[in-house]
Amino acid sequence: MRDGDFARYLRSLTASWRGLAARKAGASVVVGSGYVVARFPDPYVYLNNAVILVPDVVATAADMFSDHGPHALWCLEDAPDVAAVIAAHGYAHTETTRPMLRRLDELPPADKQVIASADLDRFAELIEVPPVLLRDVPGLLAYATAGYESGLVLQYDDYDVYVSMVYTKPEFRGHGLATAVLTAALTDARCRGACTATLQSTPMADGMYLRHGFTPLGRWLEWTRQ
């Protein structure tokens, strides 16, 4: 892992959480020494996550969710000391994801059928979230295919864009739509001055992002309370 690239990823991840928390009653993002905690009320509890980088802040971060319902604590795979403390607090490892980064100096031709600045209400319907989650979020743009079969969100932070909410309707998967949307979105981001893109990949999406030039920066172990 290159420390500078991981720091850029973590800064963009934190900025994306802050953007989503903006103007939402009861939502907050807390950044401390060795941790970042994102807390959201109903109906956004699936966004309750904490990055834990050092073992002695596990209790502090976990306590912040005492009145926020379900949540996940994340630690890096190469930090077994952090994982041990999280497990000792009654959490179980339930998912593995990978932070990734791509430089935007070279991109393939973009699909002209992709909609930039897509309608947020239609995009929210595609990914099945309340539209208010996406409204008035600083630096957020949605991208989608013409029929809203596939789409994603970019959130701008300085010279980086954070990619999230990548989704394709099941009946349209396997036809390259997500790749087309991603290419068009990153091409647009480069035109807007972005130099890099960062994201967090699930195992199912790893292949697409690796083929698209993203480089893994480590591996997150995600833990939930049992």
What is the pLDDT, as a whole number, of residue 1?
46
User: Residue 71 — pLDDT band, cuts 50, 70, 90?
Assistant: very high
Is the separation of the CB atoms in 185 and 154 below 8 Å?
Answer: yes
Least confidently predicted of 44-53, 112-121, 205-214? 112-121
The model's pTM is: 0.93
> Per-residue pLDDT for 135 more than 80?
yes
Is the separation of the CB atoms in 195 and 181 below 8 Å?
Answer: no
Stronger pLDDT, 47 or 69, i.e. the higher one: 47
> Per-residue pLDDT for 145 more than 90?
yes
Cα–Cα distance, 139 to 158 (Å, whole number) = 10
> Per-residue pLDDT for 2 more than 70?
no
Q: In the chain, what are the domains?
A: 3-100+220-225 (no CATH), 102-216 (3.40.630.30)
DSSP per position, 45-92: GGG-EEEE-SGGGHHHHHHTTTTS-S-EEEEETT-HHHHHHHHHTTEE
